Amino acid sequence: MRLRYRIATVLAALALVGAGADSVAAPEPFGAGCRVRVDGSRVSATCHNPYPGVDRVALHVECDRWWDIDTDTAPRAVGPAETVRLAGRCWKDVRSAWVSHREAR
């Protein structure tokens, strides 16, 4: 009789643990896909958001020359199924360019 009670207790505990694992929601996909293009001293980025959440994107341009000022665009909201274009430039050469993402709340 004791063995059946122990087995029933273990099975009940496993059922509770299994139920808890199902109730945890997977994180919702997020983030616009962006393509950055450098053409000489000009930079452009095209961002498309395929997800239901709003993504705030900004373009960051780092210039190659020490005297050239690096630039950051103002964040722009990219809603679901929207595409935005961001642009920036340097006076001479571009060292690097990237897009940052932040979830809109």
- The model scores a pTM over 0.95: no
β pairing state of 55-63 and 82-89: unpaired
pLDDT digits (tens, 9 = 90+) for 29-80: 888 999 999 999 999 999 999 999 999 999 999 999 999 999 999 999 999 9
pLDDT digits (tens, 9 = 90+) for 74-90: 999 999 999 999 999 99
